Structure 1
Amino acid sequence: MKIALMVIIGYLLGSIPSGVWIGKVFFKKDVRDFGSGNSGTTNTFRVLGKKAGIAVLLMDILKGTLATSLPLFFDSSINPLWIGLSAVMGHTFPLFAKFKGGKAVATSAGMLLGYNPLFFLFSATIFVITLLLTSMVSLASMISAVLITLSTIILPFVWPAILPEFNWLLTLIACGLTVFIFIRHKENIVRIKNGTENRVPFGLNKAKK
């Protein structure tokens, strides 16, 4: 019963459509009607600006972190990654936004933060470096997902201070989310191949003014 309750709460936390709500309350806009049509962080940055984008990023990360931390409050022996995963699914298919949500990146990061803060920082560093090299959030997200998945296998043997032991569930979820992230970015992949993908205004391949 406790497990089912945590899964439901995790999903509902993930279902909070941060970008949609912030857009409608403060800007009288639905971010899904503009740009890529996505309600996640990247499209919010482009449509509503830096402050709104940062707010959505933090809220989406927090959703994953809170969900992953639920077993601490319910005193359950369940692996917290399962509950964090329910938040990721809620973020991607939100009940409160007609099941049209984000691409799972920020809330997945929040899940890592709740599970292992050091591994979260390691993963965030990979993403930032990749973003600076590519200047494309979509490409950085996909490359980082692959590298982070590989890290779940390698780090326990080469850098146990970050991941003390191999966790098959962490690797399994990382593999699943990597595939899922690639699927959610299929339109971005087409634009990357065509050289028309949006770029951020910094990094080695930054957008030209």
Structure 2
Amino acid sequence: MKILVLMLIAYLLGSIPTGLWIGNYFYHINLREHGSGNTGTTNTFRILGPKAGTVTLIVDLLKGTVATLLPIWLGVDHFSPILIGLFAIIGHTYPIFAGFKGGKAVATSAGVLLGFAPLFLIYLLAIFIGTLYLFSMISLSSVIAASVAAISVLIFPAFHFLLPSYDLIFTIIILLIASLIIIRHKDNMTRIRQKSENLVPWGLNLSKQEKN
């Protein structure tokens, strides 16, 4: 019963559509009608600016972290807390408070890793930033980091690097999260192939996307 309650709490926590609510209540702008139409961190930065984007990033990150740490704080220790974090990611991606149309799972997934495997998160963050510098695209950086996470969780435990041993639940959930992130970015990948993906004003843009 406790695990079901924690799953529900995590899902509802993840369902808070941070960028959408900030846009509606403080800027009188519906993010769904601007930019990519997405309610996550990237589109919030692009449409509402750095202040709103930063708040959205922090809140969406903390949704995953708090959900993952809830079982630990409440002394519920007979299952892996990352399982609860997964429901925050599901809530963020398919939020009940926003018509089940949410973000692309990146920030909240990072929050889950912050609560469960912070060193692994730092490693993936380095991959993300390095890719962002080379290609100037949040979307590609997210997909590369997700792909690297999926490969690393299968390989690293064999060498006791960052992940000391194989954890079946952790491995399965990382593979699920990585798959979700990649699927959620399928439209971005199409635009990348068409050289029309949105860029950030930083980095080398090695794939030569058209700046917009």
With normalisation by structure 1, the TM-score equals 0.94
The Cα offsets for residues 75-134 of structure 1, whole Å up to 9 and x where unpaired, read as 222111110000000000111111110001110110100101111111211111111111
> Matches of 1:175 and 1:119 in 2, distance apart?
14
Which one-letter code corresponds to 1:174 in the other structure? I
The aligned counterpart of 1:50 is 50
User: What residue number does 2:109 align with?
Assistant: 108
Aligned-pair identity in percent equals 51
CA distance in 2, matches of 1:204, 1:166: 37
Structure 1 residue identity aligned to 2:84? I
1:94 counterpart residue number: 95
Residue 136 of structure 1 deviates from its aligned partner by 0.6
Alignment of 1:53-64 (within 5 A): 53-64=53-64
Task: Give the number of equivalent residue pairs.
Answer: 208
1:182 Cα deviation from its structure 2 partner: 1.9
Give the partner amino acid of 1:29. I
For residues 102 and 66 of structure 2, what CA distance do their matches in structure 1 show?
A: 18
Q: Structure 1, residues 132-186: CA drift from partner, whole Å, max 9, x if none? A: 11111111111110101111122223353x2221212222122222222222112
1:153 aligned to 2:154?
yes
Aligned to 2:171: 171
CA distance in 1: counterparts of 2:15 and 2:158, whole angstroms: 36
Give 1:208 deviation, angstroms: 4.8
> Where do 1:58-137 residues align within 5 Å?
58-76=58-76, 77-137=78-138
Residue type matched to 1:5 in 2? V
Separation of aligned partners in 2, 1:68 and 1:123: 18
Confirm or deny that 1:40 pairs with 2:40: yes
Deviates more, 1:131-140 or 1:169-178: 169-178
Q: Write the distance in 2 (CA, Å) between the matches of 1:202 and 1:18.
A: 25
For 1:22, the equivalent position in structure 2 comes to 22
Unpaired stretches in structure 2, ≥5 consecutive residues: none
SS in 1 for 2:100: coil
The amino acid across from 1:60 in the alignment is: D
Measured in 2, the distance between the counterparts of 1:133 and 1:158 equals 29
AA partner of residue 34 (structure 1): H
- CA positional deviation for 1:24: 1.4
Q: Contact 1:201/1:208 (CA < 8 Å) preserved in 2?
A: no
CA distance in 2, matches of 1:170, 1:145: 14
Mapped to 2, the partners of 1:153 and 1:134 lie a distance apart of 26
Q: Contact conserved, 1:92 with 1:102, CA < 8 A, in 2?
A: yes
- C-alpha displacement of 1:74: 2.4
Which stretches in structure 1 are left out of the alignment for 5+ residues?
Answer: none
Contact 1:2 1:74 (C-alpha < 8 Å) held by counterparts = no
- The ranges of structure 1 where at least 4 consecutive aligned residues each deviate by more than 3 angstroms after the TM superposition are 157-160, 206-209
Inter-partner Cα distance in structure 2 for 1:208 and 1:83: 40
1:127 is aligned with what amino acid? F
Partner letter of residue 152 of structure 2?
S
Take 1:141 and 1:113, find their aligned partners in 2: how far apart are those partners? 16
| TM-score, normalising length: structure 2 | 0.93
